[in-house]
Amino acid sequence: MKPSLSVEEVDEICQWYQEGDSIEAIRKAYGVSGTAIHNHLKRRNIPRRAVCGVKEMVDLKYGLMTVLCRAENTKDGLAQWLCLCECGVKKVVRGSDLRKDSTISCGCYKDSETSKRSTTHGMSNTREYKMWRGAKCRARQSGLEFNLAPSDIVIPDQCPITGVKLQLHAENGVQSDNSPSLDRINNAFGYIKGNVAVISYKANRYKSDMTLDDVNRLRDYMMSNNTNPVAAD
């Protein structure tokens, strides 16, 4: 038997009991004696089920599932409920699965998400899609926000900074200075809609290494020294 329970576990036990789970089912799930469970219920002023009845869950909504009525308990004594999914399918679900969000639909949501993940909008072999996938990976590794779709990656003919024609096909698989590169316009934000642009690899490299003040100082230096050097005597 488990020697002690955390406050969270006691909360769960009380909720399970109020929603119709049997003492035997709770005892097996948490590894405590029936006496210990009754003592916890007593300390929480929760009366025996014969007095309080089952907590009403009808019409409550969990994910896409709406509870219709009580169903027959499982063989282990766990409470079950007949639910209606938003897609129109009815399904019997254990109360504990509803409470813990283990079941949020009849299965249609999982199927829908799987379909979305396997759909690449016909762009899986394009340069745009590969750039999108790389940005998604970098965002995950760096903990940056990401909400882009492959269609958000638009490669222009020319780099908007240097004006050079972007080279879409790398020679021998090696990036050149004129290869397209995805830039975060404001580095304070992640890869989000409105904060990305495709520029040349060279421009992006310089931009990532320099602050705005650095760029202004470099510009001032180049402007002030844009004269013919005077030969020393």
Domain count along the chain: 3
CATH of the domain at 151: 3.30.40.220
- Structure-token pair, residue 206: 């310089």
Average pLDDT of the residues in 104-133: 71
Look at residue 168 and tell me whether its pLDDT is greater than 90: no
Residue 122 lies in a domain: no
Look at residue 207 and tell me whether its pLDDT is greater than 50: yes
| Residue 104 shares a structural domain with residue 159 | no
Count, residues in the chain: 233
Residue 231 lies in a domain: no
Look at residue 43 and tell me whether its pLDDT is greater than 50: yes
- Mapped onto helix, strand or coil, the DSSP state of residue 15 is helix
Residue 147 lies in a domain: yes
Residue 210 lies in a domain: yes
| Residue 214 shares a structural domain with residue 139 | yes
**Whole-model pTM?**
0.44
**What is the span of the domain harbouring residue 42?**
7-52
Look at residue 1 and tell me whether its pLDDT is greater than 60: no
* Residue 205, number of CB atoms within 10 A of its CB: 14
Q: What is the pLDDT at residue 170?
A: 64
Confidence of residue 3 (pLDDT cuts 50, 70, 90): low
Confidence of residue 131 (pLDDT cuts 50, 70, 90): confident
Residue 41: which residues within 8 A CB-CB, separation 6 or more? 13, 14, 17, 48
Summarised one tens digit per residue, pLDDT across range 77-109 is 888 899 998 888 899 998 878 877 778 888 887
| Residue 172 shares a structural domain with residue 135 | yes
